[in-house]
Amino acid sequence: MATCFHALWCEQSANLFLEGWLKLLPTSYFHAIERRLNDAATQHLSAPGVVSLGELMRLYVMRPGKRVRPQLVAWTYLSATQSNDDAPLTQSVLDVAAAWEIFHAFLLIHDDIIDGSDFRRLEPALHRQLQSLDSDSPRFGANLAIVAGDLMYAGTMRLLADLPDVTDSAYRQLHQVFAQVAQLTGFGQAIDILQSHTPIEQCNEQTLLSEYHWKTAAYTFEGPMLCGAILAGADVATRDAISRFALSIGQAYQLQNDLLDLARPVTEGSDMTEAKRTITLLRARASMRDTHRADFDADLALVQAADGRALAIAESLRKRVIASGALDATRVTLDALLSDAHAATDDRALPPGLAHAMRNLLQSLSNTYFRPANSVTT
């Protein structure tokens, strides 16, 4: 029996990051983003001959969600310009915010096909919905959903191409940020897929940290925040400080997400039932004696071969990871990332209002999502 630093969090606690802290904007701003998102989806995701597909895409984009990325675009812009709560968002801010959410929807569609997920945001995944257009054919649904995702990416580019009232310099910077993040996110997804087919002994932490950077930090935090800063006229030094803050927060978020997954008994879709490679898993394995490591590897291979159906073995693996003490080591890394994020807020290049807002955000995260839980015995 071993004592771990964290408790088993309930499902609501696990969603604090997604639901609690991320109410960054007054309701009026949030509603303005929703209206623009709906208008953009209606305008750019429909065409004659594919009316039913266009409507399903619009409804998919508009499913209730946290709107993490649109909020971060607007929040960064407002904080950098020190705007009052009643100052209207510019059309370009609304367009860029909507573009990030449509881009997010594109990635979710393809991700659900890759993972074989049946649901997204408590409703059927888009590829499952599209099956109904052809006698409930899974292949038809998947094929059309891939095209739908491509159309959403194209819709994103249309929004960015037609931004009103931005300087030529800001226009280029926005496109450079978006193109870089889109490419990095693709590479991050590729690493995720390749790692799942890489022998566990050949996996390493540096590769996984790159995945955390590219697939989570750049796409969820850095890109939207940089776009908001560019729209506010931020200089290179300010954007560099934002990047440091956003990437540290993003990597810490993914590490905490891994820990929260380990904190709960395994279910279908848990990281362990998918034999997902995580930094905590690699550290647990590295700490084991040779005979225990061989047993661990054998059970991990059984779980992977069972394609998520070996719940009892996966639960045993989860308990062995916890018993190894690897979660404490991950917490040290996580805390170091949060410290680096805090140091970024002290950068003199940051406008005072933005620096203050970033410190408040970090404090809120530290008190909620990143808050260490109590010890438990497993």
HEC string for 108-127? HHHHHHHHCCCEECCEECHH
Tokens of 172: 């280029």
Give the rounded distance of the alpha carbon of 281 from its chain centre: 20
> Residue 182 has what pLDDT?
96
Backbone angles phi, psi at 339, to 5 degrees: -65, -40
What's the CA angle centered on 94, arms 211 and 225, to 5 degrees?
A: 35
The DSSP 8-state label assigned to residue 4 in this structure reads: E
Phi first, then psi, for residue 66 (nearest 5°) are -80, -25
Axis-axis angle for helices 138-161, 27-44 (nearest 10): 110
Domain covering 3-369 in this structure, CATH number: 1.10.600.10
pLDDT in tens, 49-78: 888 899 999 999 999 988 999 999 999 999
Is 300 in contact with 275 (CB distance < 8 Å)?
yes
For residue 293, what are its two tokens? 């490591």
Q: Which residue has the tokens 């590729």?
A: 190
The alpha helices in the chain, defined as continuous H runs, are 11-14, 27-44, 51-61, 68-81, 91-115, 126-130, 138-161, 168-196, 205-211, 223-231, 236-263, 279-286, 290-305, 311-323, 326-345, 352-367
243/249 Cα distance (integer angstroms): 10
pLDDT digits (tens, 9 = 90+) for 184-223: 999 999 999 999 889 999 999 999 999 999 989 999 999 9
Q: Residues near 272 by Cβ (< 8 Å), separated by ≥ 6?
A: 261, 262, 266, 303, 314, 315, 317, 318, 321
Using a 10 angstrom Cβ sphere, with 0-12 exposed, 13-18 middle and 19 or more buried, the burial of residue 250 is buried
For 270, what's the count of Cα atoms within 13 Å in the CB-facing half-sphere? Answer: 23
* Length of the chain measured in residues: 378
Q: What is the Cα–Cα distance from 229 to 76, expressed in whole angstroms?
A: 6
Domains of the chain, residue spans = 3-369
Sign of the four-CA dihedral 101, 233, 184, 24: negative
Q: Bridge-partner residues for 4, per DSSP?
A: 376
Kindly report the number of other CB atoms within 10 A of residue 95's CB atom: 23
Low-confidence residues of the chain: pLDDT under 70: 1-22, 307-308, 372-378
What per-residue confidence (pLDDT) applies to 372? 67
Determine the Cα–Cα distance for residues 192 and 232; give it in Å rounded to an integer: 34
Q: 350 φ, ψ to 5°?
A: -75, 135
First to last CA, the chain: 6
CB distance 273 to 267 below 8 Å: yes
* Residue 370 CB-density burial (10 A; 0-12 exposed, 13-18 middle, 19+ buried): buried
C-alpha span between 265 and 74 (Å, rounded): 38
Which residues partner with 3 through β-bridges?
A: 377
